[in-house]
């Protein structure tokens, strides 16, 4: 007697169960992190530095610069074009304020890794600014392999594609420094979380897209947190 279609389907389900068990047994979590640090940039040789806060003598209206602090070589997450786009969104909020005379986006090439205040003084002289907003970031992307397998039923049975759960956590932090006095005027963080699902074929593209979205959302959140500080 030939097995019925119901029997074949039951056998298929059993085989599918074994496949999924094997897939989940091989599951693992991969992580990728890119980070920059204002502390490492401003105080490269200090142990546990704390920025001095206060309100120094300011010349109003102010000329302000804004820049991303440098990444380590080979650890770049953002293109220069993307940095300029994000910084322009932040700068637009500053330009509406009466005490801001101008705000200039400083290209990354002008900032030296671990350059400290010596580097900022060079930028101050070159661009005619006294205050600068330094933006740093920390982005971590996790890929949980094999825990979200995608199952397609075809005319010949089950077809399993291992899926991957992606989670992107992003934090950006703006620190506004008065260069001559080396005092921090204020700071504002921004955070975001992006969840996605991809197959191994488009994993790299999906993570890149999620990463860009993570920065967009985190900067939007940072701008909201900046508003009470600068008004």
Residues whose CB is less than 8 angstroms from the CB of residue 76 and which lie 6 or more positions away in sequence, other chains included? 34
Please, what is the Cα angle at 109 between 219 and 125, to 5 degrees?
95
Q: For 104-151, what is each residue's pLDDT tens digit?
A: 999 989 999 999 999 999 999 999 999 999 999 999 888 876 555 555
What domain range includes position 197?
Answer: 5-230
Spatial separation of the C-alpha atoms in residues 106 and 112, rounded to whole Å: 12
Question: What pLDDT score does 73 carry?
Answer: 66
35 and 173 Cβ atoms separated by less than 8 Å: no
| pLDDT computed for residue 21 by the predictor | 44
Q: CA 176 to CA 33: how far, in whole Å?
A: 25
Strand 100-105 with 62-68, pairing: parallel
The whole-angstrom separation of Cα 182 and Cα 179 is: 5
Question: What is the reported pLDDT for 34?
Answer: 86
- How many degrees, rounded to 5, is the angle at CA 103 between CA 126 and CA 52? 80
Q: Bin 114: left if φ > 0, else alpha if -120 < ψ < 50, else beta.
A: left
Q: What pLDDT does residue 60 have?
A: 81
Using CA atoms, how far apart are residues 41 and 186, in angstroms rounded to an integer? 17
Rounded to two decimals, what is the model's pTM? 0.77
Report the distance separating Cα 49 and Cα 175, nearest Å.
15
pLDDT in tens, the chain (231 residues): 555 554 544 444 444 444 444 444 444 556 678 888 898 999 988 776 666 666 777 778 889 999 999 987 666 678 899 999 999 999 998 888 888 889 999 998 999 999 999 999 999 999 999 999 999 999 988 887 655 555 555 555 655 656 667 889 999 999 999 999 999 988 899 999 998 766 666 777 888 888 999 999 999 999 999 877 766
CA torsion sign for 122, 126, 131, 133 is negative
Question: What's the domain count of the chain?
Answer: 1
């Amino acid at each position: 007697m030939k097995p019925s279609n119901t029997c074949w389907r039951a056998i298929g389900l059993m085989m599918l169960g074994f496949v999924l068990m094997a897939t989940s047994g091989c599951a693992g979590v991969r992580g990728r992190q890119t980070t920059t640090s204002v502390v490492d940039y401003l105080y490269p040789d200090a142990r546990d530095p704390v920025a001095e806060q206060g309100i120094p003598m300011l010349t109003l209206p102010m000329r302000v610069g804004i820049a991303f602090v440098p990444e380590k070589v080979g650890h770049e997450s953002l293109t220069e074009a993307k940095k300029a786009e994000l910084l322009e969104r932040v700068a637009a909020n500053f330009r509406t304020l009466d005490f801001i005379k101008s705000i200039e986006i400083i290209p990354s090439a002008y900032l030296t890794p671990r350059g400290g205040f010596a580097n900022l003084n060079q930028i101050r002289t070159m661009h005619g600014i006294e205050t600068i907003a330094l933006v740093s970031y920390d982005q971590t992307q996790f890929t949980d392999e094999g825990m979200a397998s995608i199952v397609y039923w075809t005319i010949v049975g089950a077809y399993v594609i291992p899926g991957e759960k992606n989670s992107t956590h992003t934090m950006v932090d703006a620190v506004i420094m008065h260069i001559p006095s080396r005092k921090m005027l204020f700071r504002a963080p921004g955070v975001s979380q992006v969840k996605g699902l991809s197959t191994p074929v488009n994993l790299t593209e999906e993570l890149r897209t999620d990463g860009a979205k993570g920065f967009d959302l985190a900067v939007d959140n940072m701008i909201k947190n900046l508003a009470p500080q600068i008004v």
